[in-house]
Chain A
Amino acid sequence: MTVRSTDNGTLVLEGVCPVEDAEVLLQLLQTMPTAALDWTPCRQLHTAVLQVVLASGLVPLGPCGDALVEQWLAREPSEADD
């Protein structure tokens, strides 16, 4: 499984995350909306999965393991958002 939730409630994206992960991730996020998301171990992200992350407004724990996402799309937590 490339999406999993750890014991302390963090969602982790790992390895190559395929399109199916989008639905799994969305369901996890719907049940635990305040979960933290760690995408450091993820090597490659499918666009659909990225879309879920973007739509959630979450700022994942970086850096993202997917170089393209990390270089261009990753955001750091912003104090201004609150």
Chain B
Amino acid sequence: MSALQEQFVTEARELIRQANDDLIALEREGTSRDRIDSVFRAFHTLKGSAAVVELPAMSLVMHAAEDLLAVVRRGELSVNVDTFDQVLACLDLVSRWVDQFEGSGSLTVQADEDGRAMMERLRSFLPRQSASSTRKSESAASETLLPEWASILIAAERDALTSRLASNKSAIFAISYEPIAGCFFNGDDPLQLIRQLPDLLAFRIEPRDPFPPLTDLDPYTCNLRLEAIAAGEHNEIRKVFRLVPDQVRIAAIPAEALPARVSDTNDGKGVLIGKVIEAQVELLRVPDRRDDFAGCIAAAARSATNALRHGDYSQLEATVEQAKTLALSQRDPTPLLAALEQAAVDIAAPLIGAGVVDARNLTDGPQQPAQRVLRVSEAKIEALVNVAGELVVAKNALAHSAKRVEEEFSGRGVTESIRRDYQAIDRLVLELHGMILQLRMVPTGQVFQSFPRLVRDISRQLGKKAELVTRGDGTEADKTIVDRLFEPLVHLVRNALDHGIESPTQRLAAGKPETATLSIEASRMGDRLLVQVSDDGRGIDLNIVRQKASEKRMMAPEELAALPDEQAVELIFAPGFSTTSEISDISGRGIGMDVVRSTIEQIGGKVSLQSKSGIGTTVQIDLPTTIAMSRIMVVETGGQFFGISMDAISETVRVTPDRISQIKNNNGFVFRDRVVPIVALAEIMKLPTKTKDTTVAKLLVVMEAAGKIAALEIDAIHDRLDVVLKPMQGLLAGARGYAGTTLLGSGQVLLVLDIKELLP
């Protein structure tokens, strides 16, 4: 994929997101000029960039959407929920195309069809006369050169043409064929003639007079007009219609009247300059400009000459400049129009001069507030994080070397000096590492952005009313965390809408406002990120939860009955648990809260849930803000070293044998009023255990993870380190029980244990 294409993908996504946000806001807050302008701009830019990367289907759809928005902007059409649905659906389609384009560098054949269909749907919202007025303005450029019917046809099929002209070098003709009413009796099949055209570029068919109701329709009276644009020899085309010369009109289309041949010009700059000039032509043709004639001419000429200068078309620039002077003196825009049209044609011819221009800079430059952001690919940041991680390891090695110098050469003085240097480096490296990690920090708002749309669509689908409130959009966390947050959040929001929030009538009956409030809130607590999803729905019915759990034989009925409410709520996180008997489309198929929990736990987070019957449910997600760096404790057992994540450790204790008692087959001890089972790490790891000295106190690391508690018995505790955890790779990728590996200062590889897997 070329740099231009990559940039297109990035920008298109941003624009789609922006348009989405604006549309949702428009629907919620009512029509506001600024918002409409912003949506319009986004669509306009998308249309322009789609042409640059040669995606005609996308240009087509964007063009239709832009037409619709233009009518809305002019206040000629009041929008309703269906209009919003359609424009949003159009963005969805384009978004899928962008994904497809990113994946394969092109769109499938299906895209053309989908695009046409979408265009039709968008056009169907247009008021009748507005559709024709749009066509008229589009066709303005070629009016003087062509019969009106031909220019209207070209304008209407502009986008179909743009995409097909590329490979075509022959002459182009517009054909209008009105078969006589009795043609079917003559054995004519007009479609058959169209099929014979050498190179069909565009084709449409419409009734000459509106169709009568089916009951009055005469199937053998032809009431159609067939219009086509085709490439080929004039004779060839004449020959096709040789038997019906009286029913057909054929007009040659001069090159100037055709839309710019996008594919002829691989150079984005040329295409854009061409577009700038075309825009000026369109502007000049707006009829009600007489009042500010001079200003209008000067502005159009200035934009055009600027664009031409930008593309090193100095000769054309001079011609346009002369034409401007002439136009001003004659008080007639014709000379300037002619010069601009000629310039557009000249540019469309194969281009000289390379260089690629950011589509947005030219098409929308002055309108968009400049936001100076440097785009760096994720891979580069990733590499930087890795290097910084290695630096941390190298720094740790320095401490190790200092220790050796002290031990082996008893060079205390030297050691002191190394220690001091080490501390300075330590501080700098940590600072550097911290700053690099900051690069990966993104606001959680990035994830929240998709939710207004989701909530809107789902609540409509369910016939419920819900308003989404997001807070703390600016709270930052590592990109990996924020990205991974999306899926669990989608699930929680769907759950809330589907199961939690009641129907409007139920809500009113319960004395609640008809519209439910769903909130997603992010906040920072020290180095943790808290995300809370709450709704004011019906809450979780614990009786149903207990009943389900008993049906699924998750626990014995008497155990369930004795289970305190806080623990009963936890049951919904159990694998395979779902409180509705039927799997609904909304909350997914068989994916339950257990998936939410495991996804969050994979990134070092915790999920908890509070619910009050009739009042609502709150799910709280507690996450680390970074995962690139973890703090571990190095422990030794059976002569081997292992790392344990400090997150999992609640305490380290020495326990004298008399406090340890045998419970069933296991050892355990009472710790802060809880019975904690003891697991010997050496046994799990199948390492030689030390001879059991029953008099010596045991060293235990008490750990809590996944709601379980246990104490690992180890031989010794060594350093506590900040390390960069690498996932298990290669042969070890499938090894269970390990969270990853890291390098120790000595160069030794340290295996870091995955506590969740190890706890009994």
Q: Give A contacts to B, CB under 8 Å.
A: 19, 22-23, 25-26, 29-30, 33, 45-48, 50-52, 54-57, 63, 68-76, 78-81
Contacts and interface: CB of A to CB of B under 8 A. Distances in A.
Contacts of A26: 214, 217, 219
A30 B214 contact: yes
Contact of B117 (A22, A33, A76, A80): A76
Given A23-B219, A26-B219, A45-B191, A54 B211 contact: yes
B121 A78 contact: yes
A56 B121 CA distance: 18
Nearest to B188: A47
A52 B218 CA distance: 9
A63 to B, nearest CB: 7
A78 B205 contact: no
Contact of B125 (A47, A54, A57, A80): A80
Nearest to B228: A72
Contacts of B82: 79-80
**Residue from A19, A45, A55, A74 having most chain B Cβ neighbours under 10 A:** A55
B23 to A, nearest CB: 17
B379 to A, nearest CB: 40
B203 interface: yes
A54 B194 contact: no
User: What 9 pairs between A and B have smallest CB-CB spacing?
Assistant: A76-B117, A22-B219, A55-B211, A72-B203, A80-B124, A47-B191, A47-B190, A26-B219, A78-B121
Nearest to A19: B184
A79 B113 contact: no
Interface of B: 82, 85-86, 113, 117, 120-121, 124-125, 179, 184, 188-192, 194-195, 200, 202-205, 207, 211-212, 214-215, 217, 219-220, 222-224
A46 B195 CA distance: 11
Contacts of B86: 79-80
10 contacts: A23-B220, A26-B219, A47-B191, A47-B224, A54-B207, A68-B194, A70-B113, A72-B205, A73-B204, A80-B124
Contacts of B211: 54-55, 57
Given A30-B215, A47-B222, A80-B86, A75 B113 contact: no
B184 A63 contact: no
Given A50-B191, A63-B113, 13 more contacts: A19-B184, A19-B189, A22-B184, A22-B219, A23-B220, A26-B214, A26-B219, A47-B190, A51-B219, A55-B211, A68-B191, A75-B120, A79-B85
B93 to A, nearest CB: 11
Contacts of B200: 68, 72
A77 B680 CA distance: 67
A70 B211 CA distance: 21
Given A54-B207, A63-B113, A33 B214 contact: yes
A51 B181 CA distance: 12
Given A30-B214, A47-B191, A72 B204 contact: yes
A82 B660 CA distance: 77
A47 B184 contact: yes
A47 B220 CA distance: 10
Given A56-B214, A68-B195, A72-B204, A51 B189 contact: no
Nearest to B121: A78
A77 to B, nearest CB: 9
Contact of A51 (B125, B202, B223): B223
Nearest to B212: A55
Contacts of B215: 30
**Residue from B120, B191, B217 having most chain A Cβ neighbours under 10 A:** B191
B117 A48 contact: no
B107 to A, nearest CB: 16
B214 A55 contact: yes
B189 A47 contact: yes
Contacts of B191: 45-47, 50, 68-69
Given A19-B189, A73-B204, A73-B205, A48 B120 contact: no
Contacts of A79: 82, 85-86, 121
A25 B220 CA distance: 12
B744 to A, nearest CB: 63
B487 to A, nearest CB: 29
Nearest to A46: B189
B124 A81 contact: yes
Nearest to A27: B219
A45 B223 CA distance: 16
A45 B224 CA distance: 15
B219 A29 contact: no
Contacts of B223: 51
Contacts of B207: 54-55
Given A68-B191, A79-B82, A79-B121, A48 B205 contact: no
A22 B190 CA distance: 14
A56 B120 CA distance: 18
A73 B117 CA distance: 10
B60 to A, nearest CB: 13
Contacts of A22: 184, 219-220
B77 to A, nearest CB: 12
A10 to B, nearest CB: 17
B219 A52 contact: yes
Nearest to B124: A80
B493 to A, nearest CB: 25
A76 B307 CA distance: 40
A2 to B, nearest CB: 14
Contacts of A76: 117, 120-121
A50 B205 contact: yes
